[in-house]
Amino acid sequence: MIKQHVKVIKVGGKIVEEEDSLKDFLELFSTIPGHKILVHGGGRSATKIAKLMGVETTMVEGRRITDAAMLNVVVMVYGGLVNKQIVAKLQAKGINALGITGTDMNLIRAEKRPVKDIDYGYVGDVTKVDVSVLTNLIKEDVTVVIAPLTHDGNGQMLNTNADTIAAEVAKALAKVFDVELIYCFEKSGVLYDAEDDNSVIPIITPSSFEELIEKKIVQGGMIPKLNNAVDAVLSGVNEVRITKASNLNNDLKGTKFNLLID
């Protein structure tokens, strides 16, 4: 039997938080035919709301430290404000969207990240995705919009990296569907030169990825994004692409991850 195709698309950064860029992105997203899932971030909005509430934001190597007060903020912002704004805008475009977090329908379980060199607080590492939940919704032609929140099964919600959630969702769905994972952000793809948006690396394989890290062409927050992409390819996701949000529907643009030519 031929597997049905599903696109898992992650969008974050200022694309989500600026009204014009979000409008343009959702316009493109709504034109994608067939089954699709959207995973979103919202970190800048969380930082802004936290400041208004008098909650201090602490970042370590681009990752948010989530204490109890910050957890309340990200639950409100990710699971409420950002998620429901996106859902409402998709409904206006005729997309039957459902906004959920990993806690809803026990979709995504996680465990609190163990303390090593850094205590990240209430940050979760994904342990399980209930693919049956997503499969049933997809079969009903529902477009699921996932906020980057999970739970541990014991009543504790956890802040979880949106790139990781997108990869884990894609990996789980790959057991049932033909899955394409697309990371959308402000840059044109993975770049040889971070200051030159035209220096896109067209293809990355698992071994060339290691070389890019060794030569420090890829650094900082891009490393975990690429780790997620490589892991997804190695775990059965058919195609992974990192691209500029405006190139969402252009398969020739951006950086692709290929396992076959390593």
Over 60: is that where the pLDDT of 261 sits? no
Strand partners, 229: none
The larger pLDDT score, comparing residue 152 to residue 223, is at: 152
pLDDT tens across 125-146, in order? 999 999 999 999 999 999 999 9
Over 70: is that where the pLDDT of 262 sits? no
Q: Please list, residue by residue across 172-202, b when 16 or more beta carbons sit within 10 angstroms of its beta carbon and e when fewer do.
A: bbbeebbbbbbbbbebbbbbeeeeeeeebbe
Look up residue 211 and give its DSSP letter: H
pLDDT tens across 115-126, in order? 988 999 999 999
Strand partners, 5: 178
List the beta strands (DSSP E) in 65-167. Answer: 97-100, 108-112, 124-129, 143-146, 149-151, 157-159
Q: What is the pTM of this model?
A: 0.94
pLDDT tens across 93-108, in order? 999 999 999 999 999 9
pLDDT tens across 153-189, in order? 999 999 999 999 999 999 999 999 999 999 999 899 9
Distance CA(27)–CA(21), nearest Å, equals 10
pLDDT at 260: 62
Does the domain spanning 5-186 belong to CATH 3.30.420.40?
no
* Spans of all domains in the chain: 5-186
Contact criterion met (CB below 8 Å) for 12 and 40: yes
pLDDT at 1: 63
